Structure 1
Amino acid sequence: MADKPVSIAVSVWIGYEPILLARSKGWLDERQVHLVEVASATDCLKLLAEGKVDGAALTLDEALIGRARGIPLSIVMIFDVSTGADMLIARLGIKQLNDLKGRRIGYEPGAVGALMLDQVLRAAGLKKEDVKLVALAIDKQHDAWTHDKVDAAINYEPVASQLLASGGHKLFDSRQIPNTILDVLAIRGEILDHPHASAIRQLISAHFRAIGHLNRNPQDAAYRMATHLGLSPANVLSAFKGLVLPDAVNNYRLMTGPSPELLRTARKLSEIMVKNELLKQDDTMISLIRADFLPTDFQAN
């Protein structure tokens, strides 16, 4: 065992809740793993850059940004995959995607927003020049919608429900681009070697145990998560809609093989990020994926 526990930065997001559930249930060995709770992914990247934490829960694009900044991150597990949680909401007069031509589309100019915009335009047969782009932080979208500053917007819960309740309808969501938008556990490369390897494996196993508990006892899990998320237990369960939490077998399926699905997704995302000037150059993908920390007794045949 290492002298001090491996430290992992975690921000507030429904997809990261199982690892906090594992801690509250006593399944996470806090002698080996210390969770550092922070306000945002920006804080996670800052702590990683400063060497104050050994890893973090990040979106895939954030992991690529960290690597571009010189932080040697490797992905050891996938927390969640968006299956409808990210969407395009449009006003009722916009009945199909190609009706977006000449319209104002609000989107958050980070990588997920850029990725969704790219896929929406591709599905609509349009180019960026065919629409009017409005850069909008997620917390500004409802106000912009209410004041008729946008005709459509790319977003996620709880903003999506607010726009739907304000007369919008869903035209596109992340179910149409499966296994593309996801959250990962990213660890600094030097931490992955002995004597820290057992701590990483313990963390991952505790996460999968918590997912099993969530699936078998959703009410108990939701009750434990509610206070941290600031939601009612019922709203916690509805918040998981639109997300898939891959178990060990599905993590193994997405992260291994001659051409892992996660690697293909990362390459596609890297290209989109370069095109949108979120990265200066494509990620080399060297040491991006380390699937060898997944529990071997769950590996698919």
Structure 2
Amino acid sequence: MPAFSPPRPARRRLLRRLAAASLLPWLGGCQNQAPLAVASHAWPGYEMMFLAKSEGWLPSEAIRLFETSSASQSIAALAQGQVQAAALTLDEVLRARAEGQALTVVLVFDISAGADVVLARPAIRRLADLRGKVIGAETSALGALVLTKVLNLAGLQASDVEIRQISMEGHLDAWRSGQLDALVCYEPTASRVLAAGAHRLIDSRQFPETIFDVLAIRQDAAERHAEAVKTLIGAHFRGLRQLRQNPQDTAYRIGSHLGLPGDDALQAFHGLHLPGLAQNKSLLAASGRLAAAGRELSSLMLAGGLLSKADDLHGLISDAYLPDSESP
């Protein structure tokens, strides 16, 4: 199946909320449960899993999806053994592996193609103009990776700018207060900052195939839950087919989970490339793009102080759980 290409008009907004569901109701007993437990926060690229759940495509005795409020919470749940798999970005997988979690990527949900952005004041027109400027970013999260990549492209060192750590919730207020010259962010904040006078300096289209959203599973659980993993991945591709064949109806179904009207839910995929089965096979091949991206990201993150130690990348990716072909 060819990759789904969402409509190009700019999004009016991406999400009105992050998943608010708490892990507390199930933390106490999930370690000994037979089903594969998968953690995910709200993000369009992950929505095919939740669509599959709502459509009854996932057998409850084999797979349980749990919403978290952030990737950090998903990683914590993995570390504590409360789930066996999680939806994360590739750089987050590398960070978790550096902290001792043996994770393997088994599916690529999406690739950022403009969804992650650096916004700037009107006077800043080129990357080189960032020298000496104040840049806001979530330096403990994905923003740190984007910032490192942008500084490399600009030929700047971290010491050439003033980096101000600001959580996503504080980005708009920090921008409006005039304390920032540039900002690393993503939707829905990006649209609000643009409306407040910023312009798009650079986005992830200028560093393609760097930011991957993936499904990662603990290596000690992968074989034990092999059939469940295959079922979950198959359901994801089924959702992509439905989105491609009947985008409006599928968008309304997705919107009910995201809390968005159908049109907004469809536009929420703008800036994301959603690889189908054929591209996933290529990405997850031993010599494929994801292996190369893992090596590049590991080196970049290590040099930028984003990893505590080098990753040997052993067992980082596997295509063993992808279906042989698309179901009709």
Does structure 2 retain, via aligned residues, the 8 Å contact 1:6–1:32?
Answer: yes
| Structure 1 segment 27-176 matched on structure 2, within 5 A | 27-176=57-206
Q: Which moved more, 1:15-24 or 1:272-281?
A: 272-281
Shift of 1:31: 2.5
Shift of 1:135: 1.3
Q: Which residue of 1 aligns with 2:241?
A: 212
Residue from 279, 284, 290 that aligns with 1:262: 290
Residue from 273, 278, 300 that aligns with 1:244: 273
Shift of 1:146: 0.2
Partner Cα separation in structure 2 for residue 66 and residue 32 of structure 1: 25
Does structure 2 retain, via aligned residues, the 8 Å contact 1:111–1:278?
Answer: no
| Structure 1 segment 285-300 matched on structure 2, within 5 A | 285-297=313-325
1:276 aligns with 2:293: no
- Encode CA deviations 1:26-84: one digit per residue, 9 max, x unaligned: 22222221112222222211221121211111111221222222222111111111000
Larger proportion of helix? 1
The one-letter amino acid of 2:114's match is G
% of aligned pairs identical?
A: 45
Shift of 1:230: 2.2
List gaps (5 residues or longer) in structure 1.
none
Partner Cα separation in structure 2 for residue 250 and residue 116 of structure 1: 24
Partner Cα separation in structure 2 for residue 53 and residue 115 of structure 1: 26
- Encode CA deviations 1:124-167: one digit per residue, 9 max, x unaligned: 23222222211111111110110001011111101111111111
Partner Cα separation in structure 1 for residue 194 and residue 91 of structure 2: 27
Residue from 227, 238, 250 that aligns with 2:256: 227
**Secondary structure in 1 aligned to 2:325?**
helix
**Secondary structure in 2 aligned to 1:172?**
strand
The one-letter amino acid of 1:51's match is G
Cα-Cα RMSD: 1.6
Partner Cα separation in structure 2 for residue 149 and residue 124 of structure 1: 22
The one-letter amino acid of 1:138's match is M
TM-score by length of structure 1 reads 0.93
Moved over 6 A (4+): none
The one-letter amino acid of 1:283's match is D
Q: How many residues align?
A: 294
The one-letter amino acid of 1:227's match is S
The one-letter amino acid of 1:201's match is K
Shift of 1:281: 0.7
Partner Cα separation in structure 2 for residue 288 and residue 123 of structure 1: 27
Partner Cα separation in structure 2 for residue 135 and residue 287 of structure 1: 33
Shift of 1:97: 1.6
Q: Which residue of 2 aligns with 1:15?
A: 45
Does structure 1 retain, via aligned residues, the 8 Å contact 2:148–2:304?
Answer: no
List gaps (5 residues or longer) in structure 2.
1-32
Does structure 1 retain, via aligned residues, the 8 Å contact 2:277–2:325?
Answer: no
